[in-house]
Amino acid sequence: MLRRTKRQLLIIFIIVSTLTTIHIIYNNVSVKNFEILYNDDSIDKYFGTKSRYPIKSEISGENLNIDSKFQLRQVQLVCRHGTRYPTGTKNYNEKIEYLQEYLFSNIGSLPKHFPFLLFFENPYNVTEYGLLNIQGIKDMQNLAIRAIHRYRNITNTIDDLSKIHIYSTNVTRVVDSAAAFISAFKTHLDEIKEVEVKNNNATVNDKKENQNIEATEQAEMETLLLDRRNFIPNKNKITEQDNGELLTIHKRNMEFSESKIKIQLESDLKNYKNDYNFFQKGDLLKYINIYKNRSEDIILSPHIACPLFNEEVNGEDRNEIKDNIKILENKYIQDVTNNVENFLNLKNIPNIVSESIMSICIFEVALNNTRNKFCNLIDKTSFEDYGFYEDYKNYHIKGYYNGVNKWLATPLLKEIVNDIDRELLKQKIPLIKENKFNTNIVLRFAHAETIFPLVTLLGLYKDKKHLTLKDSPPN
């Protein structure tokens, strides 16, 4: 009896062990295959204006080399604000809350190897919507450091922020972007001043030391001349010093050091984390020319200030374009729906859930530079379809297809050309007006909707034909 019981227990143990092993192997294989198929490091290229700025290691900081027959006289920047939190438009908060409720109601059906789904909560506070994210501060800092390195022959001629022309449209995230950028510049200028003081002190000391050396040399020469009368040549003859030979001390070149600027930038990040109004309260705002009334800001917010833009976009003659945009939107959403249903073994997922999952993935990449959560639920085809949807929408609303766009940028282009003229003419302007015409560096901070029209007006990246539905992936 005892032997039979032991035999039964052994059989049960073997069966349980086998089932457990099979379960572990199955899960490991599933997760492994999943990660290989969908964890793509370059997916942010599909996210259009929602993609992050290049990280510091991806941008060149080398000094700009220009043909000797040219002289770099001016640097102008037209810049989109840094990476931001969700704006709350298109009922973003409601969609995320719906996703949260949906996941909670299906918690019993969710795979255990996706633990972030089991405890999902809206990662963004409503009070943060539309504000500059910490990553956005880093974006601006990296761009500033790049400019300091690349255009050193220009940046080193500026001794005060007041001599840099800085403009911003009146939106908090844009103003904060401008402040973060020029904070790096200010620290650099302070560094230059410290180096100049050290160099000046070193020059004074060098002059004194050279005077002492010259006096000593003169005394030695006089002694040598006196001794030559009684000097008898031999095999150990002393080498005579030429009167034209001078002892010189070479000053060490002061290379630009990022140590202090890094400390200041880390301080900016810490202060901004603790208080999103940090830049709004700071002294840097006095250097920024802010266009107060955005509804009249035809230079940096033309899509807001120009009523013709919305009339053109919403016109009845654009119904076909709007229908096509909706078709492409539904296509990528259906792709995501199919992905999620397959991987989570769920059915009849609402479109709002799939749309929210794509949004969470986009901000996961932009704000945290990670792709190991919601992005792992989406395959490459879905990303490609989303990327084309963004391209098609921007091309027809903010790009070449919309004829009004090139006119939106004319006030901005006029300002750019005027600043070029001021720089070229400033040597002919009376000295009393010199500061007004000091335009070595001109910085403008705005939106993607500011950049699109300017690119259109300048004819950059223009295709030979209009973008159509026939160009959608895999074409």
Q: Each residue of 94-113: pLDDT tens digit?
A: 888 899 999 999 988 888 88
CB 396 within 8 A of CB 313: no
Q: What is the mean pLDDT of the chain?
A: 79
Residue 237 has pLDDT above 90, yes or no: no
How far is Cα 433 from Cα 425, in angstroms, rounded to an integer?
12
Residue entry with tokens 């002294």: 283
Residue 35 has pLDDT above 60, yes or no: no
pLDDT at 49: 83
- Residue 13 inside a domain? The answer is no
Query: DSSP letter at 76?
Result: E
Torsion angle in degrees (nearest 10) through CA of 75, 77, 83, 87: 160
pLDDT at 438: 66
Residue 299 has pLDDT above 80, yes or no: yes
- Residue 248 inside a domain? The answer is no
Q: At how many degrees (to 10) do helices 351-368 and 134-150 cross?
A: 40
CB 473 within 8 A of CB 384: yes
Least confident of 3-17, 130-144, 217-231: 217-231
Residue 281, C-beta contacts closer than 8 angstroms, at least 6 positions apart: 275
How far is Cα 45 from Cα 358, in angstroms, rounded to an integer?
14
- Residue 178 inside a domain? The answer is yes
Least confident of 39-48, 237-246, 379-388, 465-474: 237-246
Task: Name the residue with higher pLDDT: 64 or 121.
Answer: 121
134 — alpha (psi -120 to 50), left (phi > 0) or beta? alpha
pLDDT at 40: 55
User: Sorting pLDDT into bands at 50, 70 and 90, what band is 5?
Assistant: low
The listed range with the strongest mean pLDDT (220-229, 253-262, 335-344) is: 335-344
Q: What does the longest C-alpha to C-alpha distance in the chain come to?
A: 128
Structure-block tokens of residue 22: 């099979």
Q: Which amino acid is at 442?
A: V
Residues 422-431: contacts with CB within 8 Å, 24+ apart?
Answer: 423/73, 423/74, 424/73
Task: Name the residue with higher pLDDT: 237 or 51.
Answer: 51
Beta-bridge partner residues of 27: none
pLDDT at 356: 94
Distance of CA 265 to the CA centre of its chain: 15
Beta-bridge partner residues of 291: 169
Task: Name the residue with higher pLDDT: 458 or 158.
Answer: 458
Report the 3 state secondary structure along 133-198: CHHHHHHHHHHHHHHHHHCHHHHCCCCCHHHCEEEEECCHHHHHHHHHHHHHHHHHHHHHHHHHHH
For 180, the domain range is 36-63+72-201+255-430+437-471
- Residue 261 inside a domain? The answer is yes
- Residue 14 inside a domain? The answer is no
Residue 18 has pLDDT above 80, yes or no: no
The 10s digit of each residue's pLDDT in 164-187 is: 999 999 999 999 999 999 998 888
CB 53 within 8 A of CB 82: yes
- Residue 211 inside a domain? The answer is no
Closest CA to 415 of 179, 178, 165: 165
Assign 322 to helix, strand or coil: helix
pLDDT at 305: 92
In the chain, the number of structural domains is 1
- Residue 121 inside a domain? The answer is yes
User: Sorting pLDDT into bands at 50, 70 and 90, what band is 353?
Assistant: very high
Strand arrangement of the beta sheet that strand 165-169 belongs to: 75-80, 441-446, 165-169, 289-291
Closest CA to 419 of 446, 437, 432: 437
How far is Cα 446 from Cα 170, in angstroms, rounded to an integer?
9
pLDDT at 289: 95
Closest CA to 365 of 36, 37, 45: 45
- Residue 343 inside a domain? The answer is yes
pLDDT at 345: 87
The 10s digit of each residue's pLDDT in 51-79 is: 888 766 555 556 666 666 778 889 999 99
pLDDT at 217: 60
pLDDT at 13: 54
Assign 445 to helix, strand or coil: strand
The listed range with the strongest mean pLDDT (31-45, 157-171, 420-434) is: 157-171
The 10s digit of each residue's pLDDT in 387-412 is: 999 999 999 999 999 889 989 999 99
pLDDT at 288: 96
- The share of the chain scoring above pLDDT 90, in percent, equals 40
According to DSSP, the β-strands at 165-169 and 75-80 are: unpaired
Structure-block tokens of residue 169: 């449209």
How far is Cα 47 from Cα 61, in angstroms, rounded to an integer?
25
User: Sorting pLDDT into bands at 50, 70 and 90, what band is 29?
Assistant: very low
The 10s digit of each residue's pLDDT in 248-296 is: 222 223 345 667 778 888 999 999 988 999 999 889 999 999 998 999 9
Residue 154 has pLDDT above 70, yes or no: yes
Output the domain CATH number for residue 93.
3.40.50.1240
